[in-house]
Structure formats: C-alpha cells, structure tokens
Amino acid sequence: MTRPGFTVWLTGPPCSGKTTLGLMLREELARRGVGAAHLEGSQVRASLGPELGFSRQDRHTANLRAAWVAGQLNQAGAACVVSAIAPFADTRRELRAALGQYVEVFLDCPLEQLVNRDRRGLYARALAAGGTDFTGLGSPYEAPEDPEMHCLTGRETPEESLGKILAYLELARLVPPAASQAAPQPADERGGEGAYSAEEEAALTARLKDLGYL
Amino acid sequence: MPNLGAILSQGASAGLTSSLPTVSTVAWTSYMTGVNPGKHGVFGLVERHPDPFSVIIPSSLDIKAPTLWEMLGRGGVPVGVMNVPMTFPPKKVNGFMVSGFLSPDLSQATYPVELAPRLMEMDYRIEADVALAASEPDFFLAELGEALSRRFKSAFQLMREGQWEFFQLHLTGPDHINRLYWDAWEEGGEKSGQRLAEFYRLLDGYLGELTEQLPQGCPLVLIGGFGMTRARGTVYLNQWLESNGYLLFGKGKKELKNLHSDSKAYSLIPGRIYLNLEGREQKGTVAPGRPYEDLREELIHRIGGLEHPETGDPLVAKVHRREELYSGPQLSRAPDLVVEPAQGFEIKANLGMSGLVAPPERKGCPSRSDALFYISGIKEGLRPGPHRLEDMAPTLLGLLGLNPPPSLEGESLL
C-alpha cells in the first residue's frame, strides 16, 4: 500500500525537546517502514539561509525554506519531520497552506523548566546579552491555538510524547500501527482504506450479532 | 419517569420520519449531515464492494458529506460530541469527540487522543459487554446500567470542564434494552418488566441531574433517531431469492462471495437488494437498460406482495427503487431496490435459512415513523410537519445562530 508523504512540524520554544523528539520520531517511522527525513532548524539555516538573521521576516523566510524542502520530500512520498521553533502563528498558517499533509505538534513547556534543562547554556547566554532576539525572552513565541497534537514536554517523557504523536499519525492513517509490523495483516478488503483491521472487523461483527442486528 | 415528564412539559416536541433502511448507521449519518444517503454515502449496517465482492462495516471515513460538528466548528462554535454512532475513527473537531457504537476500543476513539486516558480514569465505557445479552439478561442489564452511569458521569465532568456551546451525548442503552424487553411495555411480564423499569428509573435519575448540570439558559434538545415497536417476525430475503431462483451459489461454501454468475439478485441487511448487474458486479450477468428495469419491476411486484405463510399478514410495506428514495453523487453505490418492511418485521440477509419468516429474534425492532425531536423553552411555534431526521442539522445550526449551508436538504423546525 502506498501511503502519502506528510510533514510533522515540531514547534516550540528553544529546549522544549524538538530535536530529541524529532530524531526519535524519524527512527520509529523507519522501524515501521516509513521513509522519513529529519530537518533540524539550525542545520537548515546553516545550509539554506546562512544570510538570515533573527528578525521576524528572516525567521519567517527560514521556516518557509524548510517547508519547501519538506514539500518536495512529501511529493516524492517520503515523510519529513521538522524540528524548528516556527514562533509565529502567521508563519505556521503559511506552512499549513503550503504543505498538503501537515501535522503540527506543539511542544509546550514552562519557561522555568526550559531554562533549567538548558544544558547548552542558550538561555543563560541570551539572558546575559539582554535576550532581545531570543525566542521566549525578547522575541515572542506565539503558542499554537489549534495544533494537531499538544505535548506537555515539561511533564511528559519523550517516549510519552512520541507515543501520542504516533497515535495521532496512526489514527490519521499516515503510518501503520506498530503491531502490523510484528504480525502483518493480510491486505484488508478495502484496499487498505478501511477504518478497521480484520480482527476489529470480526469483533464488531460478533458484537452486532450479539445485539441481534445481523 | 418523573424527570422526563417534567422536561417534556417545559418544551415542544415533534415526530420525525427516520431513514430507510431504519438502522442506526444510516439514521445518525442522515442526522449529522442533514442530507440523504445518496449524498452522505452510508446505506446500511454493512456495505459491499461489488468487485471483487466483499462486505465491510462502514465507518466515519465512508461519510461523504460534512457533519454537523464540522459545520459548527467552521462557524466558530466549540463542540463536545460523545458516543454518536458512525463517528469512528474520530475526526478533528473544534472541541472534543468521543466515538461511539462500533469503536474498537477507547484508546483509538477520542479527539484529541489525550482525552482517552482521562476517560479511562473516569472508567468510561464505549459499550456495555453485549456478548451475553440474550443468554444472561440480568448480567446484561447490570452492564447496561453501569455503562449508562459511567457515560453520564463522564459527560457531566466534561461539560463542567470543557469549553463548549454544543454538547451532544448519545445513549445506546435504550436501543439495546428495548430490543430485548419491548414485550414488557405491552404485556408487563414480571421479570422483564422489572428489568425495563429499573433501567429507565436509572436513566430518569440522570436526566434529572442533567437538567441541573446545564448552564443557565442552555436549551436541552432530545432526539430519537428512530422509534421501536413490537417485533412480529424476521424475514429472510436471501432465502426467498434463493428458493425462487434469483440467487444461486457456486460449488463450495454458501456465501455471497461465491455467487454463481446465473444469479439475478442478492440482498444485504436490512432489505437492500442488489441486482447482479453486468459491468458492476464481479460476476454480473443482468444487462443494463431494459433487462435491469424489467427485473426490478418483477421483484417489486413479487416481493411487495409477500405474506406471512401462516397468518397471511403482509410482510412488506413497499419496495422502493433507489432513485425514489435517494439522490446525490453516491446514488450509484445505493442498492437497486430497498424493501421497507411492514411494521414489526425485520428483514435480514442470512443465508441457509429454512423458511422465509421466523419468529422474532428479539422482542422489539426499529420503527421508522416515530423518531422524535424535543426542545426545551419553547411551547409552540415549531414548523408544521411532516418532519424528518435530516431537519435536525439545520435546526441545530439555526439554534446556534448559524445559517445552514444550502447543500443541506432538511429545514429547520424552529
């Protein structure tokens, strides 16, 4: 069965867990036979926008360039996981419009915890420098109002957040369930488009018979 | 049911005509889309793919028209939807959704997905355990009561916590229990009468609590997707088709997958007849055009006249051509004929039955003509009937200040 390409965009302030989760997600997708690339925000900037700074316009441009790459991958049938702050609601609206199958995941974590878990010292350096360009300090992070998935990374382990994202992707039929990897089901009778697995369908049929409906 | 009595005395109600076939999948899809099956694409409890032949259980993915909650969401109205049939898998809504009847398990049945663990903490159940419905009625009744209690308690909590302007809680228990004990309404059988009364006392208690939980000024709407009536018998249409030479099987197992190419027609539950049409069905041999129309005419005449072999009572109210019932882009997927049973008869499609009619498998069966609408706070002024289930979506959209899209077929009752 050919599944469509899709993009999972992990958005959230610095140190909210985007890269960690992005890499975990890419690995799990590969385990399930879904080819996926991972685009990390700072690496994308280094390759595709070394001239860009951190003004609102430049951040917007950097995100759209990453989206263009993701879109190309999606068109080729591959998934793309993007770990990039994408702090502005307007930008994210454009990302959604530009990418056919766009799954926005908001990594939400209180500022205090972000600062505490900052092993690279990003917040400390930014605070020392006045923090004017730093997202969440001098530069705003506009929290998504309606993401496909909201992960509370201050409370959840990365594995828990990963599980939630995968559950969503399974539900949206973008990735196969893990179980079907271990014990492949025969192609269901709908050419793979059905809501129910063969086992679920058998159980539901039994339920309908028990109720006297069939 | 004193609480229900009090609720009904404080509003206006009207009868509705339900869908045909009168089953929950079709009825509730017509309700939630405001259009007929020719547009929403759900025609029964099961659907068939003609070539290669297979039968599947339809899901929300098969609904081809926008739903009420999608329309409300687009209008900026936050919604909470719990347990409505045909909402699995749950779709993204402006609010939250808990899928209902025919959801495989709770972990897959919520939008957003993080709602599932919360419902598990509340001991929410999608369905009572129905495996022992017929053989262990006391156990089943306890199960139904438990599922009802958990459903209401979870709903009350979500109503208190959630942001919503439209909240729908669907109850399946009355359908299940009415099928089992409908005779007790009419005959008052001691044991089954007690069971029925016990369930409805419990339900009435929660209805009373519901009225207390509702925010000030919030209208309460009650909708019954179809009515129930005393079951008089089960009609096995494939048995009739087979014994009259319309349905033949190849060597091997007697199943629709193994249809012989000389077959003229077969049936799916309830009362849907598909002609073995050339170019559409896997082994289709009935030519389109005149032969197709002649065969439909013949079946309408013969099936329309079926009588109970012992009592002589008519078994069929009417046989409809599909285009007489449905219209829209999904019409080509509709059965060629739809047999509307006489009141009290259920039409099934089991193979290998020994006779056309058998005593009813359950005591109650659906009734198309007495679906119900009620709204609080209005004593009169409902649009004069007839009303139908498709009128509900425009009614509810209007109640929330939204203009129904012109694609809807129903008309507001308000």
SS3 A75: helix
B297 burial via Cβ count (<10 Å: 0-12, 13-18, 19+)? exposed
SS3 A139: strand
Which carries the bigger pLDDT value, residue B21 or residue B101? B21
Cβ partners under 8 Å of residue B269, min gap 6: A213, A214, B44, B45, B46, B347, B348, B349
Peptide bond into B329 cis (omega under 30): no
Predicted local distance difference test score (pLDDT) of residue B188 = 66
Answer whether residue B263 shows pLDDT above 60. Answer: yes
Q: In angstroms, rounded to a whole number, what is the distance separating the alpha carbons of residues B152 and B169?
A: 8
Question: How many CB atoms are closer than 10 A to CB B126?
Answer: 22
Predicted local distance difference test score (pLDDT) of residue B189 = 63
Answer whether residue B297 shows pLDDT above 90. Answer: yes
- Show residues of chain A in contact with B88, CB under 8 Å: 195
Predicted local distance difference test score (pLDDT) of residue A2 = 60
Answer whether residue A131 shows pLDDT above 80. Answer: no
At residue A107, φ and ψ (nearest 5 deg) are: -95, 110
Counting Cα atoms < 13 Å in the Cβ hemisphere of B372 gives: 12
Q: Report the residue of chain A nearest B88, measured CA to CA.
A: A195
Nearest-CA distance from A124 to chain B in Å?
33
Determine the length of chain B: 414
- Show residues of chain B in contact with A204, CB under 8 Å: 57, 102, 104
Two tokens at B326? Answer: 């449905």
Contact A150 B112 (CB under 8 A): yes
Contact A149 B112 (CB under 8 A): yes
Q: What is the ipTM of this complex?
A: 0.79
Answer whether residue A184 shows pLDDT above 50. Answer: no
- Show residues of chain B in contact with A149, CB under 8 Å: 112-113
Runs of H (alpha helix) within B67-220: 68-74, 115-121, 137-161, 173-187, 190-213
Q: In angstroms, rounded to a whole number, what is the distance separating the alpha carbons of residues A181 and B38?
A: 38
**What's the pLDDT band for A188 if we cut at 50, 70, 90?**
very low
3-state secondary structure labels for all residues of B11-56: EEEEEEECCCCCCHHHHHHHHHHCCCHHHHCCCCCCEEEECCEEEE
Residues belonging to chain B with any Cβ–Cβ distance to chain A shorter than 8 Å: 23, 45-46, 49, 54-57, 59-61, 88-90, 92, 94, 102, 104, 107-108, 112-114, 127, 130-134, 176, 179, 269, 348, 361-362
- The DSSP string of B208-261 is HHHHHHSPTT---EEEESSEEEE--EEEEHHHHHHHTTS--B-SS--SGGGB-T
Domains and CATH numbers, chain B: 2-228+366-399 (3.40.720.10), 233-358 (3.30.1360)
- Which one of A1-5, A129-133, B84-88 scores highest in mean pLDDT? B84-88
- Show residues of chain B in contact with A148, CB under 8 Å: 92
**What's the pLDDT band for A191 if we cut at 50, 70, 90?**
very low
Write out pLDDT tens, residues B354-404: 999 999 988 899 999 999 999 999 988 899 989 999 999 999 999 999 999
Predicted local distance difference test score (pLDDT) of residue A3 = 64
Give Cα B164 to chain centroid, integer Å.
26
Give the angle subtended at the CA of B22 by the CAs of B16 and B28, to the nearest 5°.
Answer: 70
Write out pLDDT tens, residues A47-76: 898 999 889 999 999 999 999 999 999 999
Answer whether residue A179 shows pLDDT above 80. Answer: no
Predicted local distance difference test score (pLDDT) of residue A195 = 81
